[in-house]
Amino acid sequence: MASLDLFAGENNDVTRFSERAYLLHGYVERDANAILEQLREVIKQSPLRQFVTPGGGKMSVRTSSCGDFGWITDRKGYRYTDTDTITGEPWPAMPAELKELAETAAKECGFESFSPNACLINVYHPGAAMGLHQDKDESDFSQPIVSFSLGLPATFLWGGLKRGGSPHKITLQHGDVLVWGGPDRLRYHGVKKLADGQHPLTGNVRVNLTFRVR
DNA sequence: AAGTCGCT
DNA sequence: TTGA
């Protein structure tokens, strides 16, 4: 696949929904086809899989990773690895164009030095969900999280720094990008059970990419 | 407990 | 919908 068009940046429609949490509406919409094409190549090397959590439950989301590190879980806990535990090979490289888009989005929100070395790929089919959790397996919480949404829309849940209370609901559409960091870096967050639907680019799935510094 | 269940 |  040819390089991305890198149209992102032309769209300045940004909603700030917490002190340092931002929704960039449609930020990667025009790059969506190219992003999905890159992901198909990644998934050929490291296939999607359903993890088991430490509690023994099976995640409904299908997951892979690219970059220097990939996020995994099993009964022993959550962690990053430098090789795919299925293939035994290093995780596929993070496509440079994706990394650049994530960095540009972070910069747009005032996170100047973001250089992700891990990208978690989560594919949601109808019925799949993500319970409220914190992204806390990384070592430097001064670095933000950047999240791309592609395909079917989803309801994002935005909680507090501790469990409890009712999370805010934010609709994520195809092409939207979320950035959160600073005092919001360890907020609980999740995704409501995905509603059935069809999207012209992805069919009946939602694709989510989260870029992190391990 | 990134899940599931049970009570409100 | 929330709390354990």
Provide the CA A27 to C1' B2 distance, Å, integer: 26
How many CA atoms lie within 13 Å of A44's alpha carbon, on the beta-carbon side? 6
pLDDT digits (tens, 9 = 90+) for A52-81: 999 889 999 999 999 999 999 999 999 999
In a domain, A36, yes or no: yes
Q: Say whether the CB atom of A55 is under 7 angstroms from strand C.
A: no
In a domain, A58, yes or no: yes
pLDDT digits (tens, 9 = 90+) for A151-209: 999 999 999 999 888 999 999 999 999 999 999 999 999 999 999 999 999 999 999 99
In a domain, A195, yes or no: yes
In a domain, A80, yes or no: yes
- Which of strand B's nucleotides are less than 7 A from any protein C-beta? 1-4
- Per-residue CB contacts under 7 A with strand B, chain A residues 127-146: 129-135, 137
For position A72, which CATH number holds?
Answer: 2.60.120.590
Query: Residue written as tokens 């068009």?
Result: A5
The parent domain of residue A184 ranges over: 4-209
pLDDT of A8 > 80? The answer is: no
In a domain, A140, yes or no: yes
What is the number of structural domains in chain A? Answer: 1
In a domain, A214, yes or no: no
Single pTM value for the model: 0.94
